[in-house]
Amino acid sequence: MTFVQLAINGVALGAAYALVAIGFVFIINATSAVNFAHGDLVMAGGYVAISLGSLATLPVIVTLPLVAAIMFVVGVAVALIAYFPLINRPPATVFISTLLCGIVLQNLFLILFGPQARAAPPLIKSGMMHLGAVDISIQAAGTLAVAAALIGLQYLVFARTQIGRRLRATAQDRQMAQAVGIRAYVMIAGTFGAGTALAGVAGALLANQFFVYPTGGIPLSVYAYIAVVIGGWGSIAGAVIGAMMISVFQVVVSAYVSYAVATGLLYFVLLLVFFFRPQGIFGELVQRRV
């Protein structure tokens, strides 16, 4: 494979990771807690896509809105079970509750779908398309397009719409949001829903090339976590950049050395980042209120 193809695959994978990381940041911003079930919710999205695909042989692009809608509901359910009962406890408690939630999800997958890795139908169809001198897999190109569209869409929603402004206001100061009339708890539940929907879509996109299996979500949670650390806690743009860096690094290093070395090096680099820049590479975009 040429370097250009590698880079495109890396960027396509990164786009899917970016969706995962954005959802992860949504929840961090809304609750200041880490959702460690996030990777498992990505897997859930993959399984939903597989189930829908087995009901009717439709390409994923058709069922994707339904996947997103179902995962939105799942996300609200996770908020009701693992977050709201613990809302006044320290963030570490929420972290543990999401870990436990993840365990339950992983084992539900095991019961419902078995231990083997499974693949979802392709986004449109499998195969390659020719673009000048390079061949690009249609799945990669489609993933890139869908992810780019969703990243753009979430940007527009957050930046331009009243609901986006209310979500941001709630994330920045929940109590003050209530004091200007915003239903903060509805916004938080909605944020969980939206973040989970993005994770689910990412799962449906990844599930064709990279498969889904019950414990496949754990590394994804970790990658999202790392992307956020690289990009700066709470920054959506930073998370996208972080996710891209992780995936390109992974794809390139595993092509030339091995996947294991790529992963090991990734963690090692992460530890270096911690050591030299504990505030993340890009720092925090908004200063904390003093």
Asked if 239 touches another protein (CB under 8 A), the answer is no
CB 190 within 8 A of CB 75: no
Distance between CA atoms of 37 and 79, rounded to whole angstroms? 11
Shortest reach from residue 82's CB to another protein, in Å? 7
Binder of another protein out of 20, 101, 150, 251 (CB under 8 A): 101
User: Which pair of tokens denotes residue 149?
Assistant: 């569209």
Residue 213 Cβ vs another protein, minimum distance, rounded to whole Å: 14
Asked if residues 116 and 230 have their Cβ atoms less than 8 Å apart, the reply is no
Residue type, 70: I
Alpha-carbon span 128 to 139, nearest angstrom: 8
> To the nearest whole angstrom, how small is the minimum distance from the Cβ of residue 23 to another protein?
17
Question: Is residue 229 part of the contact set for another protein (CB under 8 A)?
Answer: yes
Q: Which of 82, 120, 189, 227 is in the footprint of another protein by CB under 8 A?
A: 82
Task: Establish if 275 lies at the interface with another protein (CB under 8 A).
Answer: yes
Cα gap 44→54, rounded to integer Å: 15
Residue 208 neighbours by CB distance under 10 Å: 23
Contact with another protein (CB under 8 A): which of 5, 51, 178, 254? 178
H-run or E-run covering 216: none
Question: Residues 66, 128, 165, 210: which binds another protein (CB under 8 A)?
Answer: 165
Measured from the CB of residue 91, what is the shortest distance to another protein in angstroms? 7
If one asks whether residue 116 binds another protein (CB under 8 A), the answer comes out as no
Question: Of 46 and 217, which has the nearer Cβ to another protein?
Answer: 217
Determine the 3-state secondary structure of 135 from DSSP.
strand
